[in-house]
Structure formats: structure tokens, C-alpha cells
Structure 1
């Protein structure tokens, strides 16, 4: 029986997936845990579910020998040391699709609010002013939306924006098939120069760090708007602040920040605080009831398929093997060092203990290989001990 530990108030839909499959040993925590408590909770866990505030580094992973898989119930996986997890034979799964609509709706809503100067108008009414002027307020219809990063979310933003009458252009480091009437631009500079609203939908990492720096922001169309609901590290906040103060940009909306508060009562530290033309939200792009329920189900189902059949389709750090119905008396999941002769060594060990391989699936990634072997014969503790003890083995389990 696998023990499943879920942190950070993951939606009940995840637990429902596990219990429906007869996996009742599910422990839930309403938040992330301090280091010592987290280490203790991981010690007895086979499957772990986290969101963005629980960080699993190499040291923690090394101290969790029974941990078989990690589910990130969100899009990002930078809170997990993916290489360390891989070298321990632990696949990591996430939810790249389930909050797409929620983020896209937030971005379009923010674009419309900023084009109409609603943040400023709303604040002035609360302060006792009745300013009905139309100066600086525009319809979304006919404006150009520039999308940087045309993946799952970026393309969905474009579809919604077109429905509102916007013209859509996009820039991506990879060739992407445009949806609707969207058009790819040949350079980021060309996108910035023509866009009334620029929205970012790129991954984090060194390749995207501060891609919207002072130079890029200066290349934006005067009076345009910048929206970031991707990663906090992709926008130079100081440069954005200067562009807003000078009037080069008319507004901005940020849902992510380079450094984010660790608790509900900790304030955000940002020079953008108090600016009347800036929308600041606490990393809630995917925080809708619909998306959280979908995320809970999507990641839990991936974890469940791995536990029951060994399939790793959708893992972000691991050789991917799709589901295939079991054909033998037992299924052995073997993670090994990706060295010449590994498969021959594994097959010989199985043959020496009377196991006949009836089906095998193998994939490799970097330093490891992963093979699912359906076998006939008796797979007892002795066999598993031999397979696990061999120097080529990283991890070995049976389902």
C-alpha cells in the first residue's frame, strides 16, 4: 500500500482520484511545512503532492528513500531539484494544461481594465471623485495584442483576444501554428513596436531572465501596456517602474514577482506599490475553483497511473513511457544508469532467477534509463533484492 502525502491545501479532487482507486492512505496538510516537519513527513511517503511553496532539494530527496514520485499541482516545477529527483529514480509530474483558461481570462480582463483606466477610475470614486473623462481610455476592439511565448496559455489568450476584436501577433523561439488570425512576428523588437498590449507567457530560467529589460521596454510602443502572468524573473521591475513613471507605458499588470511573500500576512516589496495604473495580484492566475479542481485531478491521475502501471507519460524529468496493458504475471519497473550493456545485465539477472520476459518498454534520458518489464515467473523478495543490489540499478520496484 502506497502512502500519499499532499501539502499546501491541494484540491480535494486529488484525494478523490486516489480513494476511488482504493488508495486510502492519504495524508493532507493545509500548508507547506517547516524544514524539520517536512523532512519527517517525507520519510514515510511513497507519493508526494506539492504546490509552489514546498521546496524539495537534493538533501530532502536523499533523505526520503521510499519516495517514488512527486506531483507538482501547478505548472511550474522549479521548486523541485529535478536532476536530483531523476538520479534517485523519482519522476516528477505537473499540470501544464489545467489552468490555461483561468490564466487567459485574467490576462484579457486585465488588458481591458487597463485600456479603460479602470484601476485609476475605481480608486478615485472610492476617494470621493467623480471623474467621467474619456481621456486615455480605449476600447480593446481594434487594438494589437502582442504575445511573447505562444504555448498553451499564450495561444488561448490570443483566441480570447480575437473574440474581443483585438488583432493578435506573437513571438516564440519555436515555430508555432497560429490559431485564428494570429500572426507570428519575425523578431521580438517588431512585436514590441506595434503592440498596444504586450503579455508574457514564457518559462522561467536563464534564457528568459529579464527579457523585458530597460532596452526591451524602451522598444515598446509609447502608451502601451505590459502584462506578466508567467514568471517573476522575466521582467526588470526597476526598468518597468521607470517606464511607468515617465509615461512611456500607460499601465501594467503583474501576477508574478522576482521575490514573493511567503505568507498571507507578509507584504509584497515592490516599487510598483501604490501606482494608480498598475494591477498587482498575488500569483492567482490559476486560482479559480475550476482550475484547482482540474489540476487536482490531472496530476493525481498521472501519479495513479505511475503507481499502478509504471507509466511516466507527462513526467518533466524522466524517460517517458506510455501506458501499455500488462501481459505477464508481474511488472518490474527498473531505473538504471544509462551505460552500455545495462539491458543485457538486467535480462541476465532475470533469467538467472527463472523470470521470462514477455514484454519490455525502454526509454533513456541523460544519465538514466527506465525499463518496464512484464515477466512470467515468481518475483519474490530475493529477486527484488538481487535486482536492487546491482551497481547498475538506481531503483527497482514491482507492481
Structure 2
């Protein structure tokens, strides 16, 4: 049978082009997110699916899709997929954690400069017919201290760009990170907040970072300082930020992510932050550039294609990672099984029983599952495939 991939939510054309380059020709594109029975029906005969943030692949949906072999999240986050259920069903999930790094970093630097110069206020007043040429409270970026909270892939890029416009850079990260350029590590978040002229957040979501920037920590910042959040919507206490801005206890802010966001363009964006002049509100567009979306399309489609055609699971977020291995023999078998003693011995005994020689084999485990790629030097019969698939510990078995 042909390999079928369904792409939802207007994924960039680079994805389909990449899949075609890997000889995957049956590609169905659905321009919007689906749910419930519509989603299950659309994926009933799909080998792989590509989604963005609005398509929810929960446990009940995944269990209705026995043919589905791989999921591609054409974005950074994977919260829209039940990763644990996908793993137990033998379905690897891929994403694009770094493809929009440059786009986010450029937005942060642009917002930093605009806020330091108080451009949002000047712009709003000019639209109302006011000619406000005052230099009061407007500063150059040069020699200002940028504090980066979370010194990962995006944080380091922000630091490099900030230095290129003359800013000084410090960072706080709970893990030890090697500084790039002239950046300096700060021993605590509180110390960074007290010193920085601009603070930008680049931390993951979750319970450990929920309301990381709260009322108390906002109170540590300079009254002239600015805050930028292009990380996760739950990282900043929105009510506390609203009070700080409206009471003049903070110089300005730029927020790209929110605790609750509209599900579509037709839904009104609701936030207490609306109407504040020294605040830039953007609709979660940190990675929304043509370049970033094209990169994401290529990266995730490449990962899907590598898995579907060769079994490669490198960088899968929920699955044992097996690097790419050139097919060295006539047949390649992909076997996902429960991580139990003796499974590989049974698999290899089955090959031996049919007189097949193993040319190459890789095995990795992760938690409750194991994943093996085996190359053998002859065709695989339907009888042997049935035997491998019906083994007591087998979750799924495919021939590529």
C-alpha cells in the first residue's frame, strides 16, 4: 500500500515538497483543524499526520487510529498530543524545537528597542492627533543591560543579537550554561531582575515556571525597566503585570503569549492588558515568519519521511531514539515492543527459524517500550510478519 500522510492547519508548502522528495506521494492537505469523529475519519487510513497547535490528538482519538504510525507537530510545542498514549501505541512524535529561533530572537530585540524608545506610546498618541516629541523616558539600547531568563537556544541567540546593537547581556538559568560573547551569568533570578534595564523570558511552560514573574518579582525591577515574554503564557502573572504597568511601576512590556488565547481569528482576544499604551501585545507570532514556517515544514517533514522510509526516530520527543541507518539488505523490519526480558531473543529466534541472516540491528528502549530496527538478507514472508506481530510483547511491527 502507498504511504499516506495527512497535513492539517495550512502547514507550509515546504512540508509537502519535502515529503515528495522522499517519494511519499499520497499527501492530503486539510486547511483547518478537525476534532472528534471528523478528525478520526480523516485519519482512518493515514500512516502519518502533520498538525500545528489547534488539532488535539488525545488518547481517545489515538486509540481509534490503528494504522497511524507517526505524528509530526509542525511547531515547537507538543502539548496538543497525548505523548504517553502515543508511546504505548508505538507512535513516535516529532516536532521542530529550533526552526523558529532566529525569528523569535529578532522580535525580542525589535520590541526591546521600541520599548526603550517609548515608541508604542508615541505611536498611539500620534494616531490620536497628539504631537509628543518629548525625550523623557526614552533611551538608547546601547550600554543598557539585557537580562535573559532561560539561556537556551533562543536565549543565547537573543544575547548575541543584543550585543550587536551595543547592549550588555546577563542571564539566569538554573542549569550551568556556557556564556556566548560577553554575556555574564547571574546567580539568582532576583539579582537579575534588580539589575536589568530589560528582561526577556525564554523558559519552558509547566508547573515549575507558572507565574515565575509574579507581583513580588515585578516589584524588584527598576521602574524604568521593561519586560518581554515570548516564552509561555503562564510564566507571567497577568494581573500583577497589569497593575504594575497601570500604576507606573514598570517602564513597559511586550507580551506575545497568554494564559488563554483565542482558538481562531474569529474569537475576540480578551485580556486586562488591552489599552495600555506602553505595552506591545502580539498574537503569539514569535515564530510567525515565512522563513521560520518554511524551516519548520522542511524539518518536521524530513523527520516523518525518515521514519516512514527507514525507521529513524532521532529527536522523537516520546520514543526511543534510533539514529538513521542506511538500509544494508533486502528487508528492514521495524519492531515496537514492551520493554521486557527476552524479547530480542525471541525476535532473532524467529529470523533464524526461517533461515534469515541478520545483516544489521539496532535497539533502544525508553521506559515501558523498546524499539528495534533489523535488516535481513532476504524477503520477509507474510507468515513471518504475522509471527513477529503476534508475539506476546509486540506492540506493532512494520516492513519498510
TM over 0.5: yes
Aligned equivalents of 2:315, 2:82: Cα separation in 1: 17
User: Residue 25 of structure 2 aligns to a residue in which SS?
Assistant: coil
Given that 2:35 and 2:56 are in contact with CA atoms closer than 8 Å, whether structure 1 keeps it comes out as no
CA contact (8 A) 2:35 2:55 kept: no
Asked if the contact 2:11/2:297 (under 8 Å) is kept, the reply is yes
For residue 95 of structure 1, give the secondary structure of its aligned residue in structure 2: coil
4+ residue stretches of structure 1 with deviation over 3 A?
Answer: none
Please give the per-residue CA displacement for 1:207-253, whole angstroms capped at 9, x wherever unaligned. 21111122222222332111111111111111111111222211111
Question: How many Å separate the matches in 1 of 2:339 and 2:221?
Answer: 47
Aligned twin of 1:246? 247
TM-score, structure 1 as length reference: 0.98
| CA distance, structure 2, for counterparts of residue 32 and residue 38 of structure 1 | 8
* 1:84 counterpart SS class: helix
- 1:297 is aligned to 2:310: no
C-alpha distance after superposition, 1:328-347 (max 9, x if no partner): 22111111111122221221
C-alpha contact 1:204 1:234 (8 A) present in aligned 2: yes
- TM-score between both structures, scaled by the size of structure 2: 0.98
Structure 2 residue 74 is matched with structure 1 residue 73: yes
State the Cα distance separating 1:87 from its structure 2 match: 0.7
- What is residue 389 of structure 2 aligned with on the other side? 388
Show the counterpart of 1:316.
Answer: 317
Q: Contact between 2:24 and 2:305, CA under 8 Å: does it hold in 1?
A: no
CA distance in 2, matches of 1:93, 1:285: 20
* 1:42 positional shift: 1.6
Tell me which moved more, 1-10 or 376-385.
376-385
1:143 maps to what in 2? 144
Per-residue deviation, 1:187: 1.0
Contact 1:354 1:377 in 2 (8 A): no
Instruction: Give the equivalent residue in structure 2 for 1:155.
Output: 156
Secondary structure at 1:207 match in 2 = coil
Question: In structure 1, what is the equivalent of residue 135 of structure 2?
Answer: 134
Contact 2:18–2:302, Cα closer than 8 Å, also in 1: yes
The residue number in structure 2 matching 1:214 is: 215
- Root-mean-square deviation (CA, aligned residues, Å) is 1.1
How far off is 1:349 after superposition?
Answer: 2.4
Aligned length: 399
From the superposition, tell whether residues 246 and 18 of structure 1 become closer, same or farther in structure 2 (CA, over 3 Å): same
After TM superposition, the structure 1 stretch with the greater mean CA deviation from structure 2, 218-227 or 51-60, is 218-227
Displacement, 1:390? 1.4
Shift of 1:149: 0.9
Residue 380 of structure 1: how far off its partner (Å): 2.0
1:32 aligns with 2:33: yes
Mapped contact 1:93–1:303 kept (Cα < 8 A)? yes
Are 1:172 and 2:195 an aligned pair? Answer: no
Report the equivalent of 1:2: 3
> Residues of 1 paired with 2:56 and 2:237: CA distance?
25
Tell me, in whole angstroms, the C-alpha distance in 2 between the residues paired with 1:15 and 1:330.
Answer: 27
Match of 1:191 in 2: 192
SS at match of 2:253: strand
Over residues 77-98 of structure 1, what are the superposed CA-to-partner deviations in whole Å (9 max), with x where a residue is unaligned?
Answer: 1111111111111111111111
Distance 1:210 1:318 in 2: 30
Question: Cα offset for 1:296?
Answer: 0.4
Deviations 1:277-324 (A, max 9, x none): 111111111111111111101111111111111111111111111111
